[in-house]
Structure 1
């Protein structure tokens, strides 16, 4: 029986939880070296049919190299890559049932929109009638029917992105590879296009693999995210699991904003754990399953939105409370981020939703406040 997903999911889809389900794409013990530099380090990953999978990480983590090996532009130094059970070793890029949409879009400036979309089909020698039909289908799919005769320089950034997407889809690949496809778009257009990508992927029932360094983008579009660093996958899980249950300090700090308090486990009874923070000089109560034992060093990670600020110390049990001073406030419009100095070398952040139109807040700079959170709000990290 499949486990219940953690956090909201956009569709009932989790083939990775079914032991009988075979992967559509499999990277098996892949290593890629460029001279003495190891770009991908003994990495294994299974991606399933119709999955929207994100490779997420900073520059140089190996995510683009991994995608380029699947496309056939690079060959693994060690290991194997399978697509539908077929070993892709020796299969040239033009014979692989995948297509790649590049960050630069790589549109031909001298060709109009329909010619750009038709280019790959013409190279494959398809009949003119079939090419015309597919181009019309792609223009309709990306909602550019009225732009067929325009050149790329006559289009907005978002429209050029759609043309590149249509060209990538025209050949009907089994897998679409997206290399930072929205990086050139402004924030609002990028958010709109993310939702369009989700709807398009579900409509086509295709497998999408996206490379991105944008955490919010990965969280929005992907069914699962592989967080990468130094050529390895540190955690591969759904967006809800990645955010709420990070398996390491790197993942916790890379995905969103988080407070991390170092400490030592002083008491443990099933999932009820007590940790001592030497910086705060206090014991903290945590309800979280952890392999850490009494005496082990660990870290408590708490998301800022799970923290509360008040002038009075909370009275109800099961609540951790620390007194501090409001050191800084970042007004973001929808929320305000409070930086609370709770020790000489420790500042914690709390996010408060701005639910009223009042610009002046009751809690302001240099106020003495209590910062509190429930025992089940945090995550214990052992690495």
Structure 2
């Protein structure tokens, strides 16, 4: 099998994902389109006037807290819920009135919903038997799925005889056996432990590329979304607040809500003192001097109130004062320390009483003069490190 004319060997997967960006092509036609979709339960709108385009072979993620409408949106695509307003189009077909079993989608549930009295191979074959496919074709597909998810030695076991990760693979194989155009995954890794979850994320990414299939995953786990997705839609109260690649979501959040929801961040309140082409100077109450910011995306006006988002890993923490002329310098005291193995988190208390969160990679085993509690330190950051938020 090939993707875009290339062999699907293990060395090609990274290249395929790196080059895949149909959303950047104005001529590309969306595979799935939500057009001003609203879903109401009584007076409450679980999804509100939402429009979204997803492209064929995209690994797309709906990300947000519980109750934001992400699962409702997925269930409407699957046909388990009907939209109150708007329409959903898949591969050019309006899905209005099309029952779930007639839609070219399949859904893998968080609970896996395996039949405990059936073997692995019977679980995988169940949907194919319901569709009354020829026995020879069912057998062929089951063998193919067992090989795909590497469960061939476990074909005759029952779910109770499998680990959590193996049960997850059975559920995935059953969902893929019917060869849907779109695979819907509702919190697919939530029941796995952290290490297995991280391993499975990469397995799902590789599998999605090998199959050339469109995956739509719902999750509240930011790391999971950032790892797997080609693009992420961040949701809040039934609306989409930003759609972008993981890198864009993290480095260029569209709002304070996105900046705070994705990863760790320090938010400083400020007022624009000067504004120019892509640059500005802010008066920040916690800073002893004006703060300089570069790479500003939006036009700003002097006197405008804004927020400055600073990721902890972009802050530099030192014992000694940085050289004269270094921009954006804060003095403070180490208030608390959290050692995470690969990273150490420092909470630095400023003279204003504000605490900054700073992270440092533990690149070496030994440090000449390690930072400790109550040390007087300096924090500074480059003008390009901060993001000015107007919303």
Same fold (TM over 0.5): yes
Partner of 1:346: 354
Distance 2:194 2:380 in 1: 33
Alignment CA distance shift 1:36-1:360 (3 Å): farther
SS of 2:281's equivalent in the other structure is: strand
Q: Do residues 77 (structure 1) and 84 (structure 2) align?
A: yes
Q: Do residues 139 (structure 1) and 155 (structure 2) align?
A: no
Partner of 2:56: 49
Partner of 1:101: 108
C-alpha deviation, 1:354, in angstroms: 1.2
Worse overlay, 330-339 or 279-288: 279-288
Partner of 2:371: 363
Task: Give yes or no for contact 2:331–2:351 (8 Å, CA) kept in 1.
Answer: no
SS of 1:58's equivalent in the other structure is: coil
Partner of 2:6: none
SS of 1:11's equivalent in the other structure is: helix
SS of 2:198's equivalent in the other structure is: helix
SS of 1:266's equivalent in the other structure is: strand
Q: Do residues 254 (structure 1) and 261 (structure 2) align?
A: yes
Within a 5 Å distance, the mapping from 1:25-36 to structure 2 comes to: 25-36=32-43
Distance 1:281 1:35 in 2: 52
Kindly report the root-mean-square deviation, in angstroms, between the aligned alpha carbons of the 2 structures.
1.4
C-alpha deviation, 1:292, in angstroms: 2.1
Partner of 1:4: none
Task: Give aligned pairs, total.
Answer: 376
Normalised TM-score (structure 2)? 0.94
SS of 2:356's equivalent in the other structure is: strand
Q: Give structure 1 regions of 4+ aligned residues with deviation exceeding 6 angstroms.
A: none
Distance 1:129 1:360 in 2: 68
Partner of 2:167: 160
Normalised TM-score (structure 1)? 0.96
Q: Out of 296, 306, 312, which is 2:314 matched to?
A: 306
SS of 2:174's equivalent in the other structure is: helix
Alignment CA distance shift 1:42-1:305 (3 Å): same
Partner of 2:158: 151
Partner of 1:336: 344
SS of 1:294's equivalent in the other structure is: coil
C-alpha deviation, 1:85, in angstroms: 1.2
Unaligned runs of 5+ in 2: 1-14
Task: Give yes or no for contact 1:280–1:343 (8 Å, CA) kept in 2.
Answer: no
Q: Out of 187, 207, 210, which is 2:217 matched to?
A: 210
Task: Give yes or no for contact 1:318–1:375 (8 Å, CA) kept in 2.
Answer: no
Q: Out of 323, 331, 334, which is 1:323 matched to?
A: 331
SS of 2:191's equivalent in the other structure is: coil
Q: Out of 193, 202, 212, which is 1:195 matched to?
A: 202
C-alpha deviation, 1:377, in angstroms: 0.5
